[in-house]
Structure 1
Amino acid sequence: MLRSLRWRLFLWFGALVVLGVVAISFGTYRYASERFERQLGNQLKAVAYSVAALLDPEGLAAASSHWDPVLVETRRRLQIFSEHFDLSWIGLYRFNGRFLIHLADGGDSGDGFCYGYPILDVPAEVPTAWNNGESIFVPRYQDAFGTWISVFHPIKNASGTVVAVLDVSRNADEVTDLQQGIVAQTVRMTALIALLTLVTCFLVARFTTRQLELVSQTVREIKAGNLHLRLPPLSGSLELETFVESFNGMLGSLERSQADLQRRVSELKALNEISTKINYASSTMEILRVILEKSVVGLQATQGSIMLLDEEKQALVVQVVWPEDADEQRRASRELRPGEGLAGRAFLDRQPLVFNRGSEGCLKPYEQTLPASTQNILCVPLVSDQRAIGVVSIINRTSGPFGEDDMALASTMAAQVALALEKARLYELAITDGLTKLYVHRYFQLSLDNELRRCRRYSSEFVLILFDIDHFKKFNDTYGHQTGDLVLAHTARILKGALRSVDLAARYGGEEFAVILPESNVTSGLAVAERIRKAVEAYDFPGQNQSLKVTISLGIAGYPTHAEEKIDLIRKADVALYQSKKRGRNTATIFDPAFGTTPPAKT
């Protein structure tokens, strides 16, 4: 390809230069020819004026024969001028009204042209010169004797009347021969210049393409992916040096951009994997483990942890570590106060902190507080709604110290953690009761619908327990609503402690609670109800001056044993609860069809 380019450059530039040389040569020739003709015309005019000044117009007008003394003298003078100025022809004519007639000439054979010889083949401008009395120049005209370059000059008498016309001419063939000699010389010079030009163009094209071969070879290797390669210095011109400098600068920018793009792709890949796994995570802790794992792997570190703020203790507590076999010191639920250690300071300042062992700076004092195995650590605060809620710590980057890009990626991951925690918090606020921390009534209804669908699909069973606190209104009136709230909160705590992880407890309304026991029958449901009742009965509730005792009454109904529709199941559990009240309270009762299906109105 470069050889083809070399020949194309050679041919194009050579052709352009040769055409330029030819055009210049032709223009020069045309200019020289025209200038030569103008100079020749001026010379002939000068001769004509000189001859005219020596002639006798009155004698010429009176001459009437070939041997007239005036004509003889005129011929002698014309011959002198013809020889002296190397004229091809010099003659004198008179216009008889119809055509020119010969008077005299300066040629060697002038005596042979008789007086009165008619001159017929003259240019049309000659009668005009006679009539107007003006000298005219005729560049070229042809008669029987050849082609001529002539000046026709009127000879006037004292009164200004034209009495004769002087013809001063040079043979055009002589001029043509001279011009052809000039053309031949010009062609030879043009050919020589063209040859030298072609050789120069070839050498220039070869030199240029040699530089381009270096560029082409380098570009091919760069195209193959070797962005570390750079163009070698190219000599020859400032433009080539500028090109190399600009091209190498572009490669450097491209290499940095590619590295940045690869890093961005890795970040996006990690974020995409995080988003995908978050959608299938079953709990907040699982989400945190996924994000932490991707953060550690994405930053090429060996381990990491997530610490969250415990509102009651006002301390940062380790919640998640990765990998699971990480250092026991990090796996332990170690607590840090805000501002304590690197993580505590990052939490307090709400700014990421990077520590690389051996580096100098304001974090140097923390080096002594870190284990010897910790070479570098990156702590990024978890911030939600302008409030710090925890810290992500990434430890021991395997590919070198942490940098600004690592901090940016870690901050992005931390934002994902904070977002997941905030979503979990908002979701928890939406489905849990603020006082008891149990699920709210609406979530209970949705969960009951889901459990009914599940049991219908898989032909399984479950139990619903409804219970309330005995004499709670009287309790509130006696001890006050604050104590009543404490009783509700402690009862909820006891309830959660008596259930399995798959069971669901909710605040049904007021002092009423509801429990869903999946994969349970009424017999096992009664056992759970008794366990709850006894735990509440045995618990010492905090009072103003002394501990208080509380009892509960429970009603139990099972699906599909007692009902297959939600509203019927709730109604029958409520009927069983009323029977517990009727029996004296502090008891658990399984629904029996003999109780009826309509609970009494509550007062």
Structure 2
Amino acid sequence: MILIIISITLILSLLLIMVHLLTKYNILNSKFTEVQQELEIEKENIENISTEKEEIERIVDEKNFKFLAINQMAKTLAKEKNLNILKRLIMDMMLEVNSIKRGFSLERYGDTLKIFELQNMSEIPNITIHVDDDKEMWEYFKTHKVSKIKQLQNFTKLSDIVKEFDDGYVMSFLITDEIGLEDIYYLIFMGEKTYGNYGDGEMEFFETLGGQIEIILENAIKNNFIEEQNKELTEKVYDLLTLNNAAKMVTSTLDIEEIYKSSIDMYTEVAQAMKGCIMTYDRDSEALYIKAARGEYKQDDINKSLKIKEEFLEVLKKDSNVKIISNLRESEMLTYIFEFLKENQALVKELKSELFIPLVANEEVLGIILLGMRYSDEGYREDNVEVYNTLANQIAISLYNAKLYNLAITDGMTKLFLHRYFQTRLEEELERTKRYKRKLSLIMLDIDHFKKFNDTYGHQTGDEVLKKVAKAIKEYIRKSDVAARYGGEEFSVILPETDEKGSIKVGENLRKAIESLELQYHSKILKVTISLGCYTYNPDEADSEEITKDNIIDRADQALYKSKERGRNKVTHYNNMKLGE
């Protein structure tokens, strides 16, 4: 019994111990589970922290990349001074840096925004945004420097563009003008990404970048404006200097031939023309004559005549402003210019005339200058016309003064110098010859039997003889020689720097030329001859300092009469006459 009780007691004790151990186990297991849960929570927290760290690092890297992109773009763009290239660079870099497939830009022209450039787009609907006609849209872009393309769907004018893109942004760039007002200058429409979608930070990036680009654009515009102002100022200074030089050049001489040459030289230089020619109007023949040319122009055409209508001359008297032919609208002036060029195309076609310059003074058309293309690709500009007009007026006045001077010193019938001018020039040439110890020759010539011509065939025929002889004299002497009508049928030719042998040669050339002349009188062919006397002043002769111009004239005259005594149609030199020849 006792054993049973002891056994039961032991069993109960064991049971109690087992219960206690089980309770302890449950408590420990519960605590272990709690610890496990805490560890899981802690692990999850650590993973979240790691994810957040990676996200923060990604955001930081992205911001660093965008900051570097902004910095690099700003540096690259700031180097470009050409506005058009700069705007294209902005577009190129915006698409490249942001991996954008396509886009286009609008540029401001006056009060309107128009298409400037397309990138990876074959065509888009034509867009123009006007400051007055599209006020709401204009104000929207002024107040929203960055916006999503889809936000523009309420603007009817842009609805087709909105449909064109699945996604994208619009950036507007505002510039402050010279009076301090800020307004739209440039818009960029950017389409879908090449891969992926736009992120949440794109708006901030575009706004930051847009601010940098606005500063660069504004600086470029200001620099461009300053450069343009400097260029205009330089051009004006150059124009003033050129006009001053032109005035000095064309007013420094009354030699009309020199004025022609210096005028076309100066005009082609000022206008930077590749070629051109100057023509003078002759009232007697009612035609223009090419007097000088520059550039790739046939020199054989010098002195050839061009036709011009009397009505056109009247129009030019009323409107003598320089004309840029390509800028002329339909008008009476344009019609006349085209007719003139067409009628004379054989002589002016080669010029490819672009600038038409009337030379008018005191309501008299003195001539015309025609200029061809410029050396630069840029054509003639209207803002240069004022300079062209001023230069044309100076040339016209110089030609007019030279013409008046020539009328004062030239014989109206023969177009040779008058006796008074001859006397002055001989005096000047003699002084120059004595100073520089050079020889000087004079030829006196007389038309043989001229009184008989007048008595037999009439004064009109006599006048024709005088004209033909005078023309032949001009053709057979040098430019430096001076031919004059001494009086009646007697002429004189001053030959600077010409010795005895040279004067005889010139005399013989004149004699033969005039001997070959033929004059039509009704059914008869009339012939004419001349007698010539030469004298050569030699500064090395003993009495050279005592010789005057009257001595020279007298000795040449003696030689002339000797030719007449010898049977006329002869050349006699004073020195040979002294030798008894």
Give the TM-score, by structure 1 length: 0.49
Which of 353, 364, 381 is 1:387 aligned to? 364
Aligned in 2, Cα 1:339/1:558: closer, same or farther, shift over 3 Å?
closer
Aligned in 2, Cα 1:229/1:381: closer, same or farther, shift over 3 Å?
same
Aligned to 2:511: 533
Q: Does residue 1:416 correspond to 2:394, yes or no?
A: yes
Aligned to 1:466: 444
Aligned to 2:38: none
Instruction: State the distance in 2 between where 1:407 and 1:568 align.
Output: 56
Amino acid corresponding to residue 325 of structure 2 in structure 1:
F
Which of 164, 171, 178 is 1:230 aligned to? 178
Amino acid corresponding to residue 446 of structure 1 in structure 2:
T
Q: Report if the CA contact (8 A) 1:356-1:376 is conserved.
A: no
Equivalent positions of 1:539-578 (< 5 A) are: 539-560=517-538, 564-578=547-561
Equivalent positions of 1:187-266 (< 5 A) are: 230=178, 232=180, 264-266=236-238
After TM superposition, give the deviation of residue 526 of structure 1 in Å.
2.7
Q: Does residue 1:496 correspond to 2:474, yes or no?
A: yes
Q: Does residue 1:580 correspond to 2:528, yes or no?
A: no
Q: Give the SS at the match of 1:435.
A: coil
Aligned to 2:502: 524
Q: Deviations over 1:39-93 (max 9, x none)?
A: xxxxxxxxxxxxxxxxxxxxxxxxxxxxxxxxxxxxxxxxxxxxxxxxxxxxxxx
Amino acid corresponding to residue 243 of structure 2 in structure 1:
L
Aligned in 2, Cα 1:355/1:530: closer, same or farther, shift over 3 Å?
closer
Aligned in 2, Cα 1:554/1:395: closer, same or farther, shift over 3 Å?
closer
Instruction: State the distance in 2 between where 1:290 and 1:579 align.
Output: 44
Instruction: State the distance in 1 between where 2:479 and 2:552 align.
Output: 23
Aligned to 1:268: 240
Equivalent positions of 1:109-258 (< 5 A) are: 230=178, 232=180
After TM superposition, give the deviation of residue 396 of structure 1 in Å.
3.9
Q: Report if the CA contact (8 A) 2:358-2:367 is conserved.
A: yes
Q: Deviations over 1:6-59 (max 9, x none)?
A: xxxxxxxxxxxxxxxxxxxxxxxxxxxxxxxxxxxxxxxxxxxxxxxxxxxxxx
Q: Report if the CA contact (8 A) 2:446-2:490 is conserved.
A: yes
After TM superposition, give the deviation of residue 477 of structure 1 in Å.
1.9
Aligned to 2:296: 325
Q: Deviations over 1:391-426 (max 9, x none)?
A: 233444547454543222221111122112212212
Instruction: State the distance in 2 between where 1:545 and 1:565 align.
Output: 48
Aligned to 2:270: 298
After TM superposition, give the deviation of residue 334 of structure 1 in Å.
7.7
- The worse-fitting range, judged by mean Cα deviation, of 469-478 and 446-455 is 469-478
Equivalent positions of 1:441-456 (< 5 A) are: 441-456=419-434
After TM superposition, give the deviation of residue 531 of structure 1 in Å.
3.0
After TM superposition, give the deviation of residue 509 of structure 1 in Å.
0.9
Aligned in 2, Cα 1:402/1:539: closer, same or farther, shift over 3 Å?
closer
Structure 2 portions without partners, runs of 5+: 1-175, 183-224
Q: Report if the CA contact (8 A) 2:279-2:291 is conserved.
A: yes
After TM superposition, give the deviation of residue 386 of structure 1 in Å.
0.8
After TM superposition, give the deviation of residue 372 of structure 1 in Å.
12
Q: Give the SS at the match of 2:525.
A: coil
Q: Report if the CA contact (8 A) 1:461-1:559 is conserved.
A: yes
- The worse-fitting range, judged by mean Cα deviation, of 506-515 and 394-403 is 394-403
Aligned in 2, Cα 1:377/1:550: closer, same or farther, shift over 3 Å?
closer
Q: Report if the CA contact (8 A) 1:343-1:391 is conserved.
A: no
Q: Deviations over 1:564-594 (max 9, x none)?
A: 2222222222222222333333323333698
Q: Report if the CA contact (8 A) 2:321-2:389 is conserved.
A: no
Instruction: State the distance in 1 between where 2:568 and 2:268 align.
Output: 57
Aligned to 1:120: none
Aligned in 2, Cα 1:457/1:309: closer, same or farther, shift over 3 Å?
same
- The worse-fitting range, judged by mean Cα deviation, of 347-356 and 256-265 is 256-265
Q: Does residue 1:591 correspond to 2:574, yes or no?
A: yes
After TM superposition, give the deviation of residue 274 of structure 1 in Å.
0.9
Q: Report if the CA contact (8 A) 1:449-1:566 is conserved.
A: yes
Which of 246, 249, 253 is 1:277 aligned to? 249
Q: Report if the CA contact (8 A) 1:356-1:401 is conserved.
A: no
Instruction: State the distance in 1 between where 2:463 and 2:322 align.
Output: 42
Aligned to 1:287: 259
Aligned in 2, Cα 1:414/1:451: closer, same or farther, shift over 3 Å?
same
Aligned in 2, Cα 1:496/1:255: closer, same or farther, shift over 3 Å?
closer
Paired residues in the alignment total 350
After TM superposition, give the deviation of residue 313 of structure 1 in Å.
5.0
Q: Give the SS at the match of 1:325.
A: coil
Aligned to 1:478: 456
Equivalent positions of 1:85-100 (< 5 A) are: none
Q: Deviations over 1:313-344 (max 9, x none)?
A: 5344443333x235x6997888654369x999
Q: Report if the CA contact (8 A) 1:347-1:390 is conserved.
A: no
Instruction: State the distance in 1 between where 2:300 and 2:578 align.
Output: 59
Q: Deviations over 1:194-228 (max 9, x none)?
A: xxxxxxxxxxxxxxxxxxxxxxxxxxxxxxxxxx9
Instruction: State the distance in 2 between where 1:553 and 1:364 align.
Output: 55
After TM superposition, give the deviation of residue 384 of structure 1 in Å.
2.2
Instruction: State the distance in 2 between where 1:353 and 1:490 align.
Output: 40
Between the two proteins, what is the percent identity of the paired residues? 36
Instruction: State the distance in 2 between where 1:389 and 1:319 align.
Output: 12
Aligned in 2, Cα 1:570/1:514: closer, same or farther, shift over 3 Å?
same
Give the TM-score, by structure 2 length: 0.50
Which of 342, 354, 360 is 1:377 aligned to? 354
Instruction: State the distance in 1 between where 2:574 and 2:265 align.
Output: 50
Amino acid corresponding to residue 557 of structure 2 in structure 1:
D
Amino acid corresponding to residue 265 of structure 1 in structure 2:
V
Amino acid corresponding to residue 494 of structure 1 in structure 2:
A
Q: Give the SS at the match of 2:524.
A: coil
Aligned to 2:113: none
Q: Give the SS at the match of 1:412.
A: helix
Q: Deviations over 1:428-474 (max 9, x none)?
A: 21222111111111121122112211221222222222221222223
After TM superposition, give the deviation of residue 496 of structure 1 in Å.
2.5
Structure 1 portions without partners, runs of 5+: 1-227, 235-252, 597-603
Instruction: State the distance in 2 between where 1:424 and 1:376 align.
Output: 27
Query: Bigger radius of gyration, 1 or 2?
Result: 1
